[in-house]
Every structure is written in structure tokens, then in C-alpha cells.
Amino acid sequence: MTDNTSSTPFVEGRAEQRLNGAIARFNRWPAALRTVLVVASCVLGALLLLGIISAPLDLYSQCLFAGVCFLAVLVLRKIPGRLAILALVVLSLVASLRYMFWRLTSTLGFETWIDMFFGYGLVAAEFYALIVLIFGYVQTAWPLRRTPVWLKTEPEEWPTVDVFIPTYNEALSIVKLTIFAAQAMDWPKDKLRVHVLDDGRRDDFRDFCRKVGVNYIRRDNNFHAKAGNLNEALKVTDGEYIALFDADHVPTRSFLQVSLGWFLKDPKLAMLQTPHFFFSPDPFEKNLDTFRAVPNEGELFYGLVQDGNDLWNATFFCGSCAVIRRKPLLEIGGVAVETVTEDAHTALKLNRLGYNTAYLAIPQAAGLATESLSRHINQRIRWARGMAQIFRTDNPLLGKGLKWGQRICYANAMLHFFYGLPRLVFLTAPLAYLVFGAEIFHASALMIVAYVLPHLVHSSLTNSRIQGRFRHSFWNEVYETVLAWYILPPVLVALVNPKAGGFNVTDKGGIIDKQFFDWKLARPYLVLLTVNLIGLGFGIHQLIWGDESTAVTVAINLTWTLYNLIITSAAVAVASEARQVRSEPRVSAKLPVSIICADGRVLEGTTQDFSQNGFGLMLSDGHSITQGERVRLVLSRNGQDSLFDARVVFSKGAQIGAQFEPLSLRQQSELVRLTFSRADTWAASWGAGQPDTPLAALREVGSIGIGGLFTLGRATLHELRLALSRTPTKPLDTLMDKP
Amino acid sequence: MSRADDISKLFNKLGANPSGYREIDFVHEFIEDDVEVLETPAVTQALPVIEAPSAPLLRLLEELSQGEADNLRPPEVMEGRDGEVYSEQSNPNVVVVVSVKGGVGRSTLTAAIASGLQRQGRPALALDLDPQNALRHHLCLGLDMPGVGAISLLNESWEALPERGFAGCRLVAFGSTGHEQQQSLNRWLGEDSEWLGKRLASLKLNGQDTVIIDVPAGNTVYLGQAMSVADAVLVVVQPDVASFSTLDQMDSVLAPYFTREKPPQRFYVINQLDAAHRFSLDMAEVFKTRLGAALLGTVHRDPAFSEAQAYGRDPLDPTVNSIGSQDVHALCRTLLERIDSDLP
């Protein structure tokens, strides 16, 4: 990880520089003239767009128009730079708006009630998707790409920082890392105060904090959960800035120096967020085996969306890995407690008061991803519910204090979580025709293709170009399909009654010692899979024995059903929980280390991975150490060596695993400073992923779907055998090994 | 790892200049659990396991007792570069390796530097000016070879003396001498201050060559002779208090030789640093502070060296690549940089 030097800082191309130059020159013109020009060009553009999207064309001309646009896209997507992206967005908007205009004006002549029900349902879902698409373009077309500002003054003049580490039920062994790392941040010691906010009221935490010399804060209630916990701590501290880390987010030593500069430069800046980076795979990555190969669910948000938000001064606070200025936070009454997503709501309140928020896309902290699918789903349910609550109680489109760009960014972040129902509609819509014979499109099949295909192709190619490094094509559908069923009820309930209670799926918890298929969680996907299979059967039947005049319509619906089947079976694959053996955070990173053997040999090696309990090492050529031998590991920084006693617990050729003997607190702290809190480890693998190619992504999702079907088959066989014999035969994990 | 390499990597990635970063010293008190500290086992306790000598060691001991060990010959003697011949004869660089007290690994280091320089493409000649005549063991040549002691007493030229050693570097041994021979050498060398200069000239070396001279510990006539031709003097110290307290003594011994018109450069090297001991590391820090840029490098204690000597192997053999050999290579590189930068 750390020796990855291939990724270079973002460099602007020549076209980009010319564009920036032109914008800078434009900004020097008189304000009045600029306003007139902007308004005039907006009106002109809107009229043009209106003309283009409403122009009626017959089948042949529409095909020709679509073909020309498509050719333009094929050329444009090869051109680097932001201008090409803007051009792609315009083409995509033309295709999609033309489609929607045509859809609303020419396809809604429904005849029966059943047609109307399915037809209007689908139109509503499509309308939602279009709004999110347009807002998404606004949000992401021009990421700000903020760079850090360095502190110019002497350390004696730097401001005081309170570090809050709220914890509730996380194990001390995990929180320890965060505490040591927070302590070790490069900041003057008299200006850095670390506070552990323990809502779990645990005595071992208190003792530990006393021994390592950090402040321990405990309150006598748990009102408002994390938000309340933070607000309590605000009352008993007085630093000028507050840095927040969740109990399992380990900051690097450079965190404060990288993130605080902007506050000194911009006095109106109230909050600066950095990415949440995870050194362990999330359930998707773990169960599908795509860790670091396919961008994960969070990467789109932290890689692109937040950077795009930043352009509009609408960066959200994400609860951790962020710095907040105390004064504005107190002005809005502390961290928001009205909703369950206190973080985003806090940022919204700050923005409403006219304060700025900023995003710095440099991972300067890393944490553990959720361990199991059920926990992951629970977390997303909370987000969805909280966002719906904000949308209902403090709607960003209404109210004072926001610019329209901020309104769109916030609204889109909330609307995004309403995808539950539309996604389920898209996953079942073709069945309306195939099974119930409902005419949900009142138009000829070829016309539909001529309009809908450009809409789909343009939007997915444009998004692939914008999001390429952070989200691969078709993965959005997979992520949404997995969560759709679960976030639908909380969102609907929160919209009706924002105060209504919690929704949690059962938690399998902790370490997954065996691979297993989560039948309970997979139920919605199995239902979707079954109904789509039934639809497929109906469709094939109609294709062979049905009326020839409807063959094209059937074929279109069949293709759609097939696509839905691929996405649904990929969702099924996610429900097959892979075994997770290690319970401690383990990070793969290559650091040089010397090994002093018991016989006095001194060997050179490189770490393969590290945790707080041991190292996986690769010795330099031709050396080996026998298992059980005691060694000392030497890590050095700035020419100073640190020693750690360890025992070799695994040895195979040049590969060894060394486990530390019990370390003193000083040694543990030293170890964290030399490993987890290194400044570059997380940044090195940031945005270094494979760019998207839509066809490869489809192949990938397809093969994962097939794998999911195989796993489902085996799990079913296994259940059947169990049910028949009623005697346990083989352990599940050997049966369930993935093909 | 160089200074704060994680910071510079991060800044490189951001396209910024790492000098904007402030390193803050970490000073912190921890209240340690007594139990926890006691549990930390000392590595040395696990050590004393007396094993029967291994098979190759037995064979070696047997051969040694019979007098002649075939494998004490250099296993492979590569022909190194002789050095390009310049139309104008220029003088070789002369580096004298000295120490106040014995047993600091001076001869081992002299041999390693000669072999190391040769491996870096710089023809090297190791000259043993120590009557103990031990350097030959380190460069692994025949047990008895004629040397400068006896030959000089016969007033013969040194021209035929150099023999090829590891990596193709050349060795001029002291040769075995009796007590009386040594006394007459002492007298002679005390009187003729240009003895070594004339003898070296007879070796017909040129500016590409580097001569590494091993002299006995302390102030001897051999040190005087070597210093009279030296371009650089390399003081070997160990990271302990005894070595540190000899620094002043060394200064006064060397002082007379720094009065000449173009005085030699003075360098230091810490030998046998034991990374397993806090004290050893701390002492190294003390030396670094005291010596500053004059400290050329540090060589870790490395059992691979004594092992290599026992089995007649070159400790710098790239297939072994022990930590000590890496240190020596680094030392040679720095040495060359310093010497070359001093050339007119």
C-alpha cells in the first residue's frame, strides 16, 4: 500500500487551464454585466433546450437524431477534461428530457384501471429517477478538488483543539488504537486535548484513560445517543476547535496539520470534513470478494459527491474524521438532536446560518467497515430514516439562508434515500406486461426503444465518465437492490410521522466463524428472483406460442427481465456471508522492519500486514525463522529505532507471522505511531482504483450473479438434506465454499 | 527509512512541499501496570541452548586441526578492474583505518571496505601495516604469504606482493615476522619518515585506486607512516562509553598529522551497533551529536561476518545480503562521495 507511487496528484490538462483562465477573466468583468450575461445565456439556453426536447419527430428521424447524439458521445467520452463532461451532461439531459416529454405527452392514454395503476406507477418512478439524475449532474459535474492550506505560523500560535472520541459499546482493544493515535497527532501538546466520551460508562475505559493521560467524560444518561454525548462534552471543554473521531476511526499523525489550515484562511468556515476510509472490507466487498478491486458503496460519496457538494458550499458533516469550529457550533445550539442523522442536519443548520463547510479529499483517518450485511443494512436504515426526517422537518428546499446550489445538493442527498420504492418498481415493472398483460406504455414498441434507449445509454455513459473511478456501472443497481426493501418502510414512516420509532433487522453480530447463507435477510431478493423467473417463463411462452404482432414488445420486456435477474442474483450473492476469521483490524502495508533473532542474526524484512497484535512479514531472500522462536522487531522512524518483543507463530519459507509479547503502554503507543498513524498509508490507496468500463462491469456483475445462483442452489440443497435426514452431516462451511 | 518518509510521501502525492510540515516531538508519560512490564520476557533468557556443533562446523574444525583447509582459499576470485591507465600518473587515495583500542573490528572493517569499494567499481588495495598480520584472514587468502615486513627488511620492492582477494580487490599483507625483525622495523620506520611513501610509489597505483591501510591500535610508528601519506583517516569506534572517552585521546594522537599543508580528512564510523539494546542505540545518538557530519555511517553487529570468516566466504557476498553488508555498502558510498568531493 505504501509503496504505491503510481498515482499522481491531479494535474490539469491544457484545455482545462484555458477554461479556468477564461472563467477568471470573466470574473473580472463588472458585476452588473456578468449578471446580465448569465441571465441572458440562461434564458437563451432554456429556450433552446425547450425547443429541442419538445420537437416532435417520427420514428425514423428520432432514430437518426439518437444515432448522431450517440456518435457524439463516443467521441466526447474519450476527451479528457471538464468541458467534455459538461458536453456529455448536456447531451444526456437532452436525451432524457426528450424521453420524459414524449413519455408524458404521448404514452399515457391508458384504457383500463389496471393499465393506469401500473402505468402511472412506472411514470412516477421514472420521474423520480430523472430528478435524481439531474440533481446528481448538478452535484457532481464539477468537483471542487480543494487542496490543503498549510499552517504558516509557529506552533506556539496554533489554536487549541479538543479531540472527541465518542464511544458506546466498542471494545477497548479497538478504541485504544484511536486514543493512542489521537494522542500522537503532530500538534503542540499543551494545545491538544483528547477526550473519551464514554456513553457505555465502563470502568476499564476510565482506568485506561487515566493511565495514558487522556480526559475521560461520562454522563449519567444516554439521551439523544451520540449527538447528546457530544453536546455534554461541549459543556465541559473549551478548545477553539473540535476534532471528532468515531471510536473505531484511527487518525493519522498529520490529520490536524492537514485539516486546520483552511480554518485560519477562511474565518467563516465552520466545518471541514475528510473522507471515511476503511481498512477492512465492507460486507459487499467481503462477500463478493471485490475488496480494493471494485469501488465500494462509500467511495462514490467521499470520492465525488462530497467534492461536488464542496463547489456549492454544501459539504455535509459525516459525524467522524472532521473538524468543527466551536463558536458556530454553539450558535446553532450544539450538534442537532432532532433527527437520527445528527451530522448532516448539523451541517445544514450551519449552512443556513451563513457559515461555510468544506471537504478535503485526503484520507487522514481510517476505520473498520461494518462486519456483516445485517449491520450494514441497519446503518443504512438509520441514514435513510434520518435523511427522510430532515426532509420532512427541515426541508432544505424551503426555509431561509441557503443558496439554490446548496438546496439542490442537500435535497438530492435526501431524495437519494427514497430510492426504495422506485427501485422495486423497476425490478418488477416488466412483469406487469408479461404476467398481467397490462399495457403500461401506450406506444409502439419501436418508438419506445427509439426514445428510451438514448435516455438510458446517455445517462449511464455520462455517469460512467463522471463517476468512473468511484463507482462502476451497474453497481449502483446492485447496492440499491440489496437495500431497497429495507429502507422503504423507515423512509415512508419518517415522511408520515418523523418521530416514529426505530427499524432494525436482527443482528448476527461480531465474528462470522462459518460461512453461511443469511436466509432471513435474503428473503426480499429471493422473492424478486422468483417473480422475475416467473416473468421470464411467461415471456418465453408468449414469444413461442403467443401473437406474432406483440413479439417485439415481449422481447423488450424479456430483456428488461433478464437484466433484473442479473442484478437480483448479484444481490443474492451478497447475502452469502463469507467467513471472517480475524477479529482485530489488520492492515496490509509494506513497511521495512529488521528482525533480531534469538541467536543474534539480524534479518531484513518487509511487513505484509500489521495489526496491534502482530505483523505478517516477508523476510529478505533465503532466510527463515522457525516457528516458536522469540524475536525482536525493529521499526524505525527518523533514524530512531523502536523494539518490540514478539514470537514467531507462523513460518512458511520467507513468510512469517509474528505475534507481540505483552507490550507496555509506551510500546503500544509507539507501535500505533509507527503503523496506524503513518501519514501516507491511506492516502496512497485513495482513488487508485480501476476506472470504469461499462462492458467489463456488466460482465463482472453478471458473473457475480451466476455465482450467487450457484451459492443459492447449494444452500438450498444443504437445507433440503438437513430437513430430510434431520441429522447434521457436514459442517456448512465445506459445503458452501464458493465456486 | 529516511526522515519522516511518510510525510514526504503524503506531500508528494498532494504535490506539495514537505517542508511545510512541522514535526512535533512526542513526550508523554504513561502510568504502566507493574504486572504488564514484568511479563515482558527478556530475549536473552531463551538463548543458552548448547547444541552439538553442526556438521559443517565439525568438518571445518577437523580440517583446521590438520593444518590446511582447502576451503580457506577464496572460493571464487573475480578479476576486478585494474583501473584505467592515465597518461599522467596521479596518486591513489589513501584511507587509514585507526582506533585507539583494539578489538573494535578494525581489520574486519578494513577488509570489508576494500571488498565493498571494489564491488562498487573502484579498484581497492588493502594494506596491512599491523605486525599481527591478520588482514589476510579477512580477505581470505593463503595462510602464509610474503608481506611487507620481511620484504622491506631485505630492501626489496613491493611490486610482486599484491594478491587478489574477495571481489578482486588486492591485498598486501604484513607477512609473518619475528620479534627482532619487528624491532628493527620499528627503529627504521621511526627514522625514515618517507618509508611508506616510497614503497607505495613502487606499487605503481593511479588516481583511480584507493588504498585502505590497517594500522595497529594506538600510537605506533605504523600509524605515523600511514598518516604521512593519508588523504583520509577513518576512526573506528564502538557505541559504548569506553570508545566515547577515547575520542579526545584520538584527537591528541592525530593532532600532529593535521598540521601539514593539506591535512587529511577525518571521518568516524560506529561499528557493531547492537539494535537489540536500548543503550547501544542511545550511545549511537550521543556519538551522532558529538561528531556531526564527520560520522560517515553505522555498521550493525552482524554474526554473518564472523560466520563468513569461519567458512572462508566473503561477508559482502550479495546472496547473503546481511544487514552488516548493507551497512558497509552504504559506508563505502558515503566514503567515496566525501573523498571525491575533496578532489581538486
- Which of A240, A235, A198 lies closest to A215 in space, CA to CA? A198
User: Is the Cβ of A647 closer than 8 Å to some Cβ of chain B?
Assistant: no
Identify which of B40, B275, B278 has the shortest CB distance to residue A662.
Answer: B40
Task: Collapse the DSSP code of A357 into the 3-class scheme (helix H, G, I; strand E, B; otherwise coil) and give the result.
Answer: strand
Mutation site for B-interface testing, chosen from A2, A5, A254 by largest number of B Cβ within 10 Å: A254
B98 contacts B215 by C-beta, under 8 angstroms: yes
- Which of A509, A481, A485, A524 lies closest to A381 in space, CA to CA? A485
Residue with cell 441572458: A40
Residue A510 has pLDDT above 60, yes or no: no
Instruction: Report residue A214: phi and psi, to 5°.
Output: -120, 160
8 Å CB contact of A599 and B303: yes
User: Is the Cβ of A189 closer than 8 Å to some Cβ of chain B?
Assistant: yes
Query: Nearest CA to CA, how far is B269 from chain A (Å)?
Result: 16
User: Is the Cβ of B41 closer than 8 Å to some Cβ of chain A?
Assistant: yes
Q: Which residues of B touch A8 (CB under 8 A)?
A: 13
Angle at B238 between CA B233 and CA B240, to 5 degrees: 135
8 Å CB contact of B275 and A620: no
SS (H, E, C) A51-66: HHHHCCCCHHHHHHHH
Give the integer Cα–Cα distance in Å for A348 and A314.
8
- Name the amino acid, one letter, at A625: I
**HSE (side-chain half, CA atoms, 13 Å) at B258:** 10
The band of A315, judged by pLDDT with boundaries at 50, 70 and 90, is very high
The highest-confidence range among A228-242, A605-619, B68-82, by mean pLDDT, is A228-242
The pLDDT of A33-48, averaged and rounded, is 93
pTM: 0.72
User: Is the Cβ of A636 closer than 8 Å to some Cβ of chain B?
Assistant: yes
Query: Nearest CA to CA, how far is B304 from chain A (Å)?
Result: 7
8 Å CB contact of B22 and A186: yes
The band of A680, judged by pLDDT with boundaries at 50, 70 and 90, is confident
**For chain A, what is the mean pLDDT?**
88
DSSP type of residue B19: G
User: Is the Cβ of A684 closer than 8 Å to some Cβ of chain B?
Assistant: yes
8 Å CB contact of A679 and B9: yes
Q: Which residues of A touch B37 (CB under 8 A)?
A: 664
* A383-424 per-position pLDDT tens digit: 999 999 999 999 999 988 999 999 999 999 999 999 999 999
- Name the amino acid, one letter, at B294: A
pLDDT > 70 in chain A, percent: 93
Contacts of A539 (CB under 8 A, 6+ apart): A430, A434, A554, A557, A558, A561
Tell me the pairing of strands B232-237 and A277-278.
unpaired
Give the cell for residue B25: 516531538
Give the cell for residue A375: 449491520
User: Is the Cβ of A718 closer than 8 Å to some Cβ of chain B?
Assistant: no
pLDDT at A509: 45
Q: Which residues of B touch A633 (CB under 8 A)?
A: none
Q: Which long-range contacts (CB under 8 A, 24 or more apart) does A658-663 make?
A: A658/A595, A658/A614, A658/A615, A658/A617, A658/A631, A658/A633, A659/A613, A659/A614, A660/A613, A660/A614, A661/A630, A661/B39, A661/B40, A661/B41, A662/B36, A662/B39, A662/B40, A663/B36, A663/B40
- Tell whether domain A155-282+298-371 is in CATH 3.40.50.10860: no
B108 contacts B324 by C-beta, under 8 angstroms: no
pLDDT > 90 in chain A, percent: 55
The highest-confidence range among A148-162, A625-639, B98-112, B263-277, by mean pLDDT, is A148-162
A314 contacts A409 by C-beta, under 8 angstroms: yes
Instruction: Report residue A220: phi and psi, to 5°.
Output: -95, 10
pLDDT at B61: 54
* A445-482 per-position pLDDT tens digit: 889 899 999 999 999 999 999 988 888 899 999 999 99
Identify which of A184, A594, A664 has the shortest CB distance to residue B26.
Answer: A184
The band of A137, judged by pLDDT with boundaries at 50, 70 and 90, is very high
Write out residues 210-269 of B within 8 Å (CB-CB) of A: none
Query: Nearest CA to CA, how far is B314 from chain A (Å)?
Result: 17
8 Å CB contact of A662 and B23: no
Calculate the alpha carbon distances from A416 to A390, B80, B197, B254 in Å: 13, 72, 87, 80
The band of A9, judged by pLDDT with boundaries at 50, 70 and 90, is very low
Instruction: Report residue B214: phi and psi, to 5°.
Output: -100, 120
pLDDT at A625: 86
Give the integer Cα–Cα distance in Å for A197 and A215.
9
The band of A124, judged by pLDDT with boundaries at 50, 70 and 90, is very high
Give the integer Cα–Cα distance in Å for A394 and A411.
11
8 Å CB contact of A2 and B6: yes
Q: Which residues of B touch A678 (CB under 8 A)?
A: 6
Closest residue in B to A211 (Cα–Cα): B31
Poorest-pLDDT segment among A241-250, A582-591, A723-732, B46-55: B46-55
User: Is the Cβ of B294 closer than 8 Å to some Cβ of chain A?
Assistant: no
Query: Nearest CA to CA, how far is A255 from chain B (Å)?
Result: 11
A518 contacts A573 by C-beta, under 8 angstroms: no
CATH topology of domain A590-674: Thrombin, subunit H (2.40.10)
Give the integer Cα–Cα distance in Å for A377 and A521.
9
- Which of A417, A353, A428 lies closest to A387 in space, CA to CA? A417
Q: What's the CATH code, domain B95-342?
A: 3.40.50.300
* A416-453 per-position pLDDT tens digit: 999 999 999 999 999 988 998 888 888 888 898 999 99
8 Å CB contact of B40 and A7: no
Identify which of A362, A639, A678 has the shortest CB distance to residue B6.
Answer: A678
Query: Nearest CA to CA, how far is A138 from chain B (Å)?
Result: 26
Instruction: Report residue A595: phi and psi, to 5°.
Output: -120, 120
**HSE (side-chain half, CA atoms, 13 Å) at B94:** 24
Where in chain A do CATH 2.40.10.220 domains reside? 590-674
Calculate the alpha carbon distances from A401 to A134, A234, A393, A519 in Å: 23, 25, 16, 48
Mutation site for A-interface testing, chosen from B2, B3, B9, B325 by largest number of A Cβ within 10 Å: B9
pLDDT at B74: 40
Q: Which residues of chain B have pLDDT under 70?
A: 1-4, 34-89, 140-143, 342-344
Residue A343 annotated in active site: yes
pLDDT at B143: 61
Residue A160 has pLDDT above 90, yes or no: yes
Give the integer Cα–Cα distance in Å for A466 and A476.
14
Give the integer Cα–Cα distance in Å for A469 and B235.
57
Q: Which residues of A touch B300 (CB under 8 A)?
A: 602
**HSE (side-chain half, CA atoms, 13 Å) at B210:** 28
User: Is the Cβ of B14 closer than 8 Å to some Cβ of chain A?
Assistant: yes
Q: Which residues of B touch A643 (CB under 8 A)?
A: 275-276, 278
Give the cell for residue A360: 478535503
Identify which of B9, B22, B276 has the shortest CB distance to residue A155.
Answer: B22
Q: Which of A115, A162, A198, A199 is catalytic?
A: A199
Residues of A135-157 as b/e, b for ≥16 C-beta within 10 angstroms?
bbbbbbbbbbebbbbbbeeeeee
Residue A692 annotated in active site: no
A720 contacts A626 by C-beta, under 8 angstroms: no
Query: Nearest CA to CA, how far is B299 from chain A (Å)?
Result: 12
Range list of β-strands (E), B193-241: 210-214, 232-237
Q: How many CB pairs under 8 A join A and B?
A: 148
The band of A125, judged by pLDDT with boundaries at 50, 70 and 90, is very high
User: Is the Cβ of B34 closer than 8 Å to some Cβ of chain A?
Assistant: no
8 Å CB contact of A150 and B21: yes
Write out residues 75-94 of A within 8 Å (CB-CB) of B: none
Question: What are the structural domain ranges in chain B?
Answer: 95-342
